[in-house]
Each structure stands twice: as structure tokens, then as C-alpha cells.
Homo-oligomer: A and B are copies of this chain.
Amino acid sequence: MRNLIQTADLTVGEIDEILKTAEDIIRQPGAYADRCRGMKLATLFFEPSTRTRLSFEAAMYELGGQVLGFSSATASSTVKGESVPDTIRVVSCYADIIAMRHPQAGAPMIALTKSLVPIINAGDGGHYHPTQTLTDLLTIHREKGRLDHLTVGFCGDLKYGRTVHSLLEALRRYEGNKFVLICPESLNLPAYVMEELEEHEYVCCSSLEEAMPMLDILYMTRVQKERFKSEADYDAVKDLYILDPDRMKLGKKDLCVLHPLPRVNEISVAVDDDPRACYFKQVENGKYVRMALILFLLARRRENDSRRFAKEDLIYHKVCTKSNCITSTTQEVQHIFKKVGKNRCRCIYCEAEQPLFEQ
């Protein structure tokens, strides 16, 4: 059985196949209107996310299927102390495929251990959100006709923005892409993402104005006050990362502006009517790419999971101590780490690193 926990679960060929299906659905939606007749999607949202949930539900309905689930943890059995694997095991008796969102990293990974049906990760804390990345990729592909040889700017909070890390990871796998990092120094990419970027062409930019003329794609995110040490630090930079009509004038004619939404004030409402503003197109693409993904996973229910760990790399004697890891709240859980390089290992659920040998 195949699942989608992170974008890396998919090969470049598989990503291309999903995007191709999505584009075919857009061309002839009628051909897909009964593809999931008699099937059920469970949307298990242990924390609320209207946009993502409704996108999945609309996707399943347009495939002719049905939807059941919950939209917040208060409406679930979690309050009675049930573990995530137990909840998933139960729901997998009621549905053919599950989309789940959870505030803790690794929750969908632990869900795999008990599920009878494919799992789609619809966001696990600040960790992964692969259907957003597929949405971004479909939008770029539809707007530009390709996913390679693009100059892509990421603007705003690159430190905590999981959608940024994930899209970067995906675009690195396509040839000839260049990256422009537009952010305050304190909100730059985390070290492990920078490492992965080393073999690629990239530049850093402290202001949006400077970056605008170079870009084929501009990926906006929100700079939150709470991320700064002082209000003065925030005030010093906040205006540099807001997209307004004046800054849009500096961009290319065929620039494509993306944003994972919801936006607050980082993109002025006055930009919405600019034809280069593609963030609402993204919303619609999100529905189509989820339709394609549901079909992709349902067609592969009998295949083995692509997620393979070499047995000799697995470590069973270490304990993950991250408070946001799903293992911290799951009873009788087997903690498992995998070796990374020579001296480090990583929790297979939340992917937090630890030294392999205690010092």
C-alpha cells in the first residue's frame, strides 16, 4: 500500500504523473465524475484547517465519492485518551482512504503502523504538508509549462515556513532551477535545508525590491511579529517583505506570485486583480491535484510502500525526547531511529536528529 507522508515519498516520475492526471481532470472533469463512486474519504483533522479540509472534500465529491470525518480534536475520541494508531485503525474500517492533519510531527507516520487504507498527510505540525507542495508544483507547471530552469524567489519567513522547505526540496530535483532567498537574517532557512542547497545555484537578498526583477516565481509567506526578539527588530524589517502594487511594477511581465494562504497583510488586496497574482488559482489547483493524488494512491493499494528503511540502519534503543513528536503522547510506542551519516541518527517519526553516540 502506498501513502503520502512527505513529497520525498514520490519520485520525480510519480510527481509528473500526478500533475499530468490533474491537468487531464481540468480538461475533461466529466470523465472522472464517477471514478470513486461507492468509496469514502475520511478527513481526520485533529486541528482545524478549513481550506485544506474543504479542498479534500471537494476533490472526493468531484470524483463521485463520499466524505466523513471530524474537523477538530474536540469532536474526536482523542479526548477520551485514544492513541492515534487506534483511531486510525478504527477509521480505516469505515473509509477507503484517509487524509489526516495533526498538530504533532510524525502523527501520519505512526498512523501507517495500523492503517488498513492509504494515508495522506494533510499537515503534521511544522513538519510536512506534501499536498500543498503538489499544489504549488501544479500551479507552476500550468503557469510556466515546466518545472525546470526557473528562478524562484522565496520571501518572508524561511525559517519556520514548512511549505518553503518542501517546495525547495521538490524543485531541487528538477534541472536548472535557481533560488533567491528574500528574508531577514534571523528568519533564513534552517542549517539542514541550507546544506541541501549547497550544490545548487542560489542568492540571498535582504529586500523584495532588489529581488523582484530576477524572478520567474515569487513564493510569499508571512513574517510574524512573534518570531522576533523585540518589537523594534520586527519594525525594522516588516515593510521590506510586503508585496504591493508598487513592488509588482518591478517584476517581470510573466512573473507568477504564489502564497499558501491564508494571507493576512503580506500581500496587499490591491495586488489581487493583477493577472500575475496566482494565489487564488493555487486554491483551485489544490482541488485538482488532490483528486489526482487520491486516484494515484487508490490505484496502488496493492503495491508496497515506497518508504523503506534498510534494516541495518534502524536503531531501537534510543528515545525521542522532542515534546512535539507524536511518540511523546502515544502509549507503548516503539521508538525507532535511523542512522544518518556516521555520527547522527533521526527519529523516524518526527525526524528530529540526535547524536548516534551519547557524549
Q: Which residues of A contact B (CB under 8 A)?
A: 33, 38, 40, 42, 48-51, 54-55, 57-58, 61-62, 66-72, 74-77, 79-82, 85-87, 89-91, 93-95, 114, 261-265, 268-270, 272, 280, 283-284, 287, 331-332
Do residues A81 and B280 form an inter-chain contact, with CB atoms below 8 A?
A: no
Chain B residue nearest to A38 in the complex (CB): B33
Q: Is there an interface contact between A72 and B74, defined as CB atoms closer than 8 Å?
A: yes
- Contact at A42–B54, with CB atoms within 8 Å? yes
> A86–B263 Cα gap in the complex (Å)?
8
Known: A54-B69, A57-B94. 12 other contacts (CB 8 A): A40-B58, A50-B77, A54-B68, A55-B94, A57-B68, A72-B74, A80-B264, A81-B262, A82-B264, A86-B263, A269-B331, A270-B332
Chain B residue nearest to A333 (CB atoms) is B269
- Docked complex Cα distance between A278 and B280 (Å): 46
For the complex, give the distance between the alpha carbons of A151 and B49 in Å: 49
Closest to A94 in B: B58
Contact of A50 among B55, B87, B89, B263 (CB under 8 A): B87
- In the A-B complex, list the 6 residue pairs whose CB atoms are closest, starting with the nearest: A82-B262, A58-B94, A93-B284, A269-B332, A71-B75, A61-B66
A51 to B69, CA, bound (A): 10
Distance in angstroms between the alpha carbons of A90 and B261 in the assembled complex: 9
Given the complex of chains A and B, what is the CA–CA distance between A270 and B334 in angstroms? 11
A48 near B93: Cβ-Cβ < 8 Å: no
Q: Are A74 and B48 in contact (CB under 8 A)?
A: yes
Copies of this chain in its oligomeric complex = 3
Q: Are B71 and A51 in contact (CB under 8 A)?
A: no
Q: Which residue of B lies closest to A261 (CB)?
A: B90
- A91 contacts which chain B residues (CB < 8 A)? 54
Instruction: Give chain B nearest CB distance to A310 CB in angstroms.
Output: 24
Measured between beta carbons, the chain B residues less than 8 angstroms from A94 are 54-55, 57-58, 287
Chain B: minimal CB distance from A316 (Å): 15
Hey, which chain B residues are within 8 Å of A263, CB to CB? 82, 86
Q: How far is the CA of A304 from the CA of B196 in the complex (A)?
A: 53
Q: In whole angstroms, how far apart are the Cα atoms of A74 and B74 in the complex?
A: 11
* A94 to B49 Cα, complex, angstroms: 15
Whole-angstrom distance between the alpha carbons of A71 and B49 in the complex? 13
Choose among B33, B71, B86, B280 the residue that contacts A70 (Cβ–Cβ < 8 A).
B71
Residue contact A68 to B58, C-beta cutoff 8 Å: yes
Q: Which residues of B contact A42 (CB under 8 A)?
A: 54
Q: Which of B77, B90, B332 contacts A280 (CB 8 A)?
A: B90
A327 smallest CB distance to B (angstroms): 13
How distant is the Cα of A225 from the Cα of B211 in the complex, in angstroms?
Answer: 62
Closest to A270 in B: B332
Q: Once the chains bind, are B283 and A331 in contact (CB under 8 Å)?
A: no
Answer whether A77 and B262 are a contact pair too, CB < 8 Å, given A87-B50, A280-B90. yes
The answer to whether A89 and B262 have CB atoms under 8 Å apart is no
What are 13 contact pairs spanning A and B, CB under 8 A?
A: A48-B75, A50-B76, A54-B94, A57-B68, A58-B68, A58-B94, A72-B74, A81-B262, A82-B263, A89-B280, A90-B261, A90-B283, A114-B272
A331 touches B265 (CB 8 A): yes
Residues of B within 8 Å of A284, CB to CB, are 93
Bound: A301/B62 CA distance, A: 20
